[in-house]
Structure 1
Amino acid sequence: MAFKNLEHFINTLDQAGELVRIKRYVNPHLEIAEITDRVSKMPGGGKALLFENTGYDFPVLMNSMGSYKRMCLALGVAELDDIAREIEDLFKMLSKPKEGILDKLSMLPKLGQFASWMPKVVGGKGACQEVVMEQPDLSKLPVIQCWPKDGGPFITLPVIHTKDPHNGTRNVGMYRMQIFEKDLTGMHWHKHKVSAKHFNEYKALGKKMPVAVVLGGDPVYTYSATAPLPENVDEYMLAGFLRKKKVELVKCITQPELEVPADADFVIEGYVDPADPLIWEGPFGDHTGYYSLADWYPRFHVTAITHRKNAVYPATIVGVPPQEDAWIGKATERIFLAPIKMTLVPEIVDMEMPVEGVFHNLVISQIVKDYPGQAQKVMNAMWGAGQMMFNKILVVAGKDTPITDYKKLAQHVFKHLNPATDIYFSQGPMDVLDHSCSKMGFGGKMCIDGTTKFEEEIDERYHFPEAPKAIEVAAIQSVLPGITAINQDLLKYNIPCLILAVKKNKKGHIKTLNKQLFDLPALKGIKMLLYVEHTVDVTDLPSTLWRFCNNLDPKRDHFIEEKDSIESTGKVEALIGLDGTLKTKEWDNFQRDWPNIVVSDLPTIEKVDLIWNELNLGEFVASPSLKYRKQIYGDEAIVDI
């Protein structure tokens, strides 16, 4: 379904009972984000929020794609898997042999459909240019500041247009934009992104780089800007396919080399001059749930701002999951399963990206396994596939393992896991937002082969006795007092894994502790120990998994222990420990700064508490930040963080 504009999508959400209109004044500085954080963590993602009274001329739309239902509405489908099936059918149709003239003729209607999806540049001005600001001024837009330690207000849903200076190929991506002045922002291009490549090409040519930023319009534009498409594939072709209607583009007013969707709500035109000094951008409360640290990025100079009459300003927040971006990621997981299956990993059946893994940190793949070593083949293929190169932990399971039932998944994986031989470590490119890497953008990866093993894959030297169903936590803590808490709940489900909270107080603490625990008779049969910081509530498994995945560099932070088995002569027992604690210079020789978890400040929390009953949001919901403030700072009554 093609939406005429963002207003059309808002009305659709309203009619579906998926929108709350907030008429009370709410400040875009921190308050909108605090309200959205509470709502996005409601069951199922809460509702979309339209803040109609912001002190500006434009309302602010938040959480518009923050649920499965709203994500499907945005893409015009009943189920996200419908898109994957359509893509798979297209692949099959295009690749099957054409044996005769009738087969070839049968292709014509589908080829006509292809043509109808291709973007088209139209003459004249678009609705996005109905109003042209006489003097471009970003302070006229209700740009939100999400979190108290952010470097300032950020545009958080910008659809950014650039072109290759040599061949004119368009790229449409999404990169946050910190506002510094009324006509100046940062341009947060990561080194791995296509826009950064375009920037380097303009720099080599000594030319200014035209850039156009779109906000609003059909929500499919926002989704397409985030999609992991191959380089040189036009994002607006994907948008046309999804909306079943070509995207009409118009030329920018001050940057006519670029075209933007005619139905956008806002267009911010400008340029990046490679000769400019870089600007210190950030920090920013990011999708990892931690602040991404400040760094040097290019300057974007605004030359024009245009907008529709009655335009709506769309925004999002990212931070401790779940947030709206989890549902955008779910769409990508489902939509791009088909291309991965058809072009890279034909044995893949399904894929799951748990919310706690914040996209790249944890991916679970389900495969049909026909020969030994196939899980490793899948591992190498996936780590070489586009943005999957940023994946940190990959779990490969067999076709009979339910990968969305995490308890059954863990039971199956651990039943077939030898921690000494079935976990593979590598290094490679990582998301530059990954703070656990010793070097920015480069770190360790881990693949856990949880498939049923063929005879050739089994190392007969190893013996694994049955793990206990329970352990005496107090007895272990009395021997090893650095352990502040142990979650042993997994043992009762035949999952031989413990989660331990540790207060580190010396170099090599986790490595030493891992050996000491392995030597305890009470832990015989345990295959894996997961370590987290002493401030983590290990009874809260989703939160613990999120913290663990963020703070682990698998290649650097794993410790494998082996010893002769008493029960089986000539056999060896093994255990692996994984250190998901925060790393410091003092105890870990970690040389980078370690970021803070993203939380609201107490004045904002208290303000939202006071106005909650005026927001039409139903029963009171406490701030999700309170839990993490208490864990981090020890006292939620601290006013300034």
Structure 2
Amino acid sequence: MAYKDLSRFISDLEKRNLIDIIDVEVDPELEITEIADRVSKKFGKALKFNNVKGSEFPLVINTLGTYERLNLGLGVESLDDIAEEIEDYLDLSAYVTLKGKIKAIPKLAPLPFIFPKKVGKAPCQEVVEEPNLDKLPIIKCWPQDGGKYITLPLVFTKDPENGQQNVGMYRLQVYDKKTTGMHWHLHKDGREIYEKYRKLGKRMPVSVALGSDPATIYAATAPLPKMIDEMIFAGYLRKKPVELVKSVTNDIYVPANAEFILEGYVDLDELRLEGPFGDHTGYYSLSDMYPVFHIEKITRKERPIYPTTIVGKPPMEDCYLGKATERIFLPLMKMQCPEIVDIDFPLEGVFHNCAIVSIKKAFPLHANKVLYSLWG
């Protein structure tokens, strides 16, 4: 089942008793984190806070924070279902004979319909207003954080050379009602596009979507090759195209059914101190200088829901997104290293420091070969 948007996913969670609704007032500074962290550690439900201090908008957190909810969001019984389907597509021997090609037709038939669909009118543009981040229930996660952070943003950029769009998930530290940090690491695609704009001497347009369907949110985190559009991958996971609409102030196309869109630009000559930030390992990542995102317009639904997440010592919601990557991309790793049998990223390794790999060993030091391939 493909969810049209975050709101419909939340409604389904309510019907299945997989989300707790909290109507008492909560503080976005540290209190929501404390509650969500406690619930996450007990493998508890998603949470919807209807009365966040200082904001008119409800907030949801931990929506994908169990295997059950993640599988539901991606429309499968198990993450391995997606992996097996990809493995089936990649089995070239199935297409060798005429009989095999004919048998493959039903399997391949849906693929032309996974490409994004552009629309002229969209729910995410029902309201267009001047930027004021103070109205959003943005949380401060941990005591020593540098400030409040938008933690579940889909950051859309466009390559100035070939026009291809990219989307990634980079935290945004809020500086004031109109500006945030843009946490682009050197190895991220968004940073590479940023460097292209720097060489051209042009201001870089950016649009940020807050609140999409689960498949689109996951696709923004997936380690895809540069030539594969994340929205095509989201369409593949959804088994139907992602609807996109042109931003109001720039030429970037964003998910039409998002809850909020932040439109603006990154000034190429401006850097500002970003951080610290309580991170996956349970330690704070250090402050450093990063580009600044200037917001020119905010568009939204008439009754949007603000999504957020927290990271810290596992288990946390991000662990399950990492597990999705482990299972979904296993067939591609097997293509590069056919000797791989299976792989496990333990939650305790927070998907940075630990991988357990099972292989069909054929010669001495075979494990070293696989190790170097995975590192590469």
TM-score, normalisation: structure 2: 0.97
> Would the alpha carbon gap of residues 300 and 371 (structure 1) be closer, same or farther in structure 2, given more than 3 Å must change?
same
Aligned to 1:296: 289
Cα distance, 1:340 vs structure 2: 0.9
Cα distance, 1:3 vs structure 2: 0.8
Cα distance, 1:194 vs structure 2: 0.3
Whether 2:337 is the aligned partner of 1:340: answer no
Gaps of 5+ in 1: 385-641
Q: 1:155 aligns with which of 135, 150, 155?
A: 150
Whether 2:8 is the aligned partner of 1:12: answer no
In 2, the alpha carbon distance for the partners of 1:99 and 1:239 equals 31
Q: Cα deviation per residue 1:592-633 (whole Å; 9 max; x = unaligned)? A: xxxxxxxxxxxxxxxxxxxxxxxxxxxxxxxxxxxxxxxxxx
Cα distance, 1:111 vs structure 2: 3.9
Cα distance, 1:105 vs structure 2: 4.5
Match of 2:20, SS state, is strand
Cα RMSD for the two superposed structures = 1.3
Q: 2:168 aligns with which of 159, 173, 197?
A: 173
Cα distance, 1:98 vs structure 2: 3.0
Aligned to 2:371: 379
Q: 2:46 aligns with which of 45, 48, 58?
A: 48
Cα distance, 1:106 vs structure 2: 4.3
Higher relative contact order (CA 8 A, sep 6+): 2
> Would the alpha carbon gap of residues 103 and 143 (structure 1) be closer, same or farther in structure 2, given more than 3 Å must change?
same
Aligned to 1:183: 178
Whether 2:322 is the aligned partner of 1:324: answer no
> Would the alpha carbon gap of residues 21 and 195 (structure 1) be closer, same or farther in structure 2, given more than 3 Å must change?
same
Match of 1:370, SS state, is coil
Q: Letter of the aligned partner of 1:112 in structure 2?
A: A
Q: Letter of the aligned partner of 1:118 in structure 2?
A: F
Aligned to 2:3: 3
Kept after mapping to 1: 8 A contact 2:207/2:264: yes
Q: 2:347 aligns with which of 342, 355, 359?
A: 355
In 2, the alpha carbon distance for the partners of 1:99 and 1:11 equals 46
Q: Cα deviation per residue 1:523-573 (whole Å; 9 max; x = unaligned)? A: xxxxxxxxxxxxxxxxxxxxxxxxxxxxxxxxxxxxxxxxxxxxxxxxxxx
Cα distance, 1:103 vs structure 2: 4.4
Match of 1:273, SS state, is strand
Map 1:97-496 onto structure 2 (within 5 A): 97-100=95-98, 103-122=100-119, 124-133=120-129, 135-255=130-250, 257-275=251-269, 277-341=270-334, 343-384=335-376
Cα distance, 1:262 vs structure 2: 0.7
Kept after mapping to 2: 8 A contact 1:170/1:232: no
Cα distance, 1:254 vs structure 2: 0.5
Q: Letter of the aligned partner of 1:98 in structure 2?
A: V
Match of 1:278, SS state, is strand
Kept after mapping to 1: 8 A contact 2:95/2:104: no
Q: Cα deviation per residue 1:406-449 (whole Å; 9 max; x = unaligned)? A: xxxxxxxxxxxxxxxxxxxxxxxxxxxxxxxxxxxxxxxxxxxx
Cα distance, 1:97 vs structure 2: 4.5
Q: Letter of the aligned partner of 1:369 in structure 2?
A: K
Cα distance, 1:46 vs structure 2: 0.7
Q: Cα deviation per residue 1:464-522 (whole Å; 9 max; x = unaligned)? A: xxxxxxxxxxxxxxxxxxxxxxxxxxxxxxxxxxxxxxxxxxxxxxxxxxxxxxxxxxx
Q: Cα deviation per residue 1:272-312 (whole Å; 9 max; x = unaligned)? A: 1212x200011111112111110000010101101112110
Aligned to 1:87: 86
Kept after mapping to 2: 8 A contact 1:120/1:246: yes
Match of 1:181, SS state, is coil
Aligned to 1:621: none
Match of 1:188, SS state, is coil
> Would the alpha carbon gap of residues 64 and 97 (structure 1) be closer, same or farther in structure 2, given more than 3 Å must change?
closer
In 2, the alpha carbon distance for the partners of 1:218 and 1:179 equals 24
Kept after mapping to 2: 8 A contact 1:171/1:232: no
> Would the alpha carbon gap of residues 117 and 37 (structure 1) be closer, same or farther in structure 2, given more than 3 Å must change?
same
Match of 2:367, SS state, is helix
Cα distance, 1:373 vs structure 2: 2.4
Indicate the percent of aligned positions where both proteins have the same amino acid: 54
Aligned to 2:38: 38
Match of 2:355, SS state, is strand
Q: Cα deviation per residue 1:213-246 (whole Å; 9 max; x = unaligned)? A: 0011211111111111111211111111111111
Aligned to 1:618: none
Query: Over alpha carbons, which structure has the higher Rg?
Result: 1
Aligned to 2:27: 27
In 1, the alpha carbon distance for the partners of 2:332 and 2:14 equals 34
